Amino acid sequence: MFFYISRCFTPHKKHMFLVFVKLFSCPKKLSLTNLKLKIMKKITLTIYLLALSFAAVNAQTTEPFLVEAESGTLGSDYATGTDGSITYVYPTTDLAASGSPGNDTKVITYSLTFPEADTYDLYVKLNVGAAGNNDDSFFTPRAVGSNVVDDGSYWVNINQLDVTGHTLSTDIVTGDNVGGQILEEWKWVNVSNYHATGTDWNYSVNPGALTVTFQIGARENGLLIDKLVFGKTSSSYTVAELEAATTLSAKKHNTLNSVTLYPNPSKGAFNIKSNEQSVSYKIYSILGAKIEEGVFGLGLSSYGENLKSGTYILDLQANGKRSVSKIVKL
């Protein structure tokens, strides 16, 4: 290979092209101009493929995911009904004067495995009954996990749902007051960014605890709930995007076994050997703060040399497969 380079170029030019020896052959009659064109085409293609890879990873990580309201464990006060193709849940008795669900009969409990650690908003598809502001409230928890059902400090009263909501497919879903009632119609509401609570809140999911308990509680019995959708707080979603959200089971990742990491624990860098063309990685602190992220390809790469001593979470994703593991920096 070096022989061909020597034949093609004068000595003062040889060092400029040695870095490309492994990528390009150099025929005896290949001109400098043709080689430059070949190099530029290769670079352009590489940049294009990296851009596509980044876009695909970004789309995957911002996609909302669905929980059917009836898929949880329903307290005995809840019942299900249908409206065409929609199956919904509703409480059979009223509890409007309370600041909490009061007891387990008025709670639905879900076991959810979030696709990745992040902060999420809760969107709800619901239907407010004909009584308007007497049919328009339910309870959501202030955090993921099991809650004390008769303690109002654990719950948020989502009220005045009669005057909020979005129905048009192109609407960006918020929790804003729309200035008039929307009754007996299925609509979407962002209850994490809600006009009547006086403050915004969301749900934090840590990398070491992606499977969580989530609960909602009954308040007024004229409110029907069809779907819950979790979307990243950093993103916004239209009605059409929320309607297209898929269930957690449909988004379950297969285990990524084609990437290995060593040594672990490590006093220096962590070596990652990959058999995938493109792997996205994220490193989190044990408390869930994102420390580093990026993309690597085939072969051997090194990361984390500058991490401080401690325990971290490494999240790897490629081709719909995923691996989440703890790494320790000594």
Domain boundary assignment for the chain: 2-62, 65-247, 254-329
Q: What is the pLDDT of residue 35?
A: 53
The residue-averaged pLDDT of 163-175 equals 93
Cα distance between residue 138 and residue 216, in whole Å: 8
Q: What is the pLDDT of residue 175?
A: 93
Q: Which CATH number among 3.40.50.720, 3.10.20.810, 2.60.120.260, 3.30.70.260 corresponds to the domain 65-247?
A: 2.60.120.260
Residue type, 84: G
Cα distance between residue 260 and residue 296, in whole Å: 13
Cα distance between residue 120 and residue 193, in whole Å: 11
What CATH architecture is 254-329? Sandwich (2.60)
Percentage, residues of the chain above pLDDT 90: 43
The residue-averaged pLDDT of 79-108 equals 92
Per DSSP (E only), the strands in 193-234 are: 203-205, 211-218, 223-232
Cα distance between residue 330 and residue 32, in whole Å: 50
Cα distances from 142 to residues 96, 122, 137, 312, 318, in angstroms, run: 19, 11, 16, 26, 33
Place of tokens 């303690």: 151
SS3 content of the chain, % helix, strand, coil (to 5): 20, 40, 40
Q: What is the pLDDT of residue 34?
A: 60
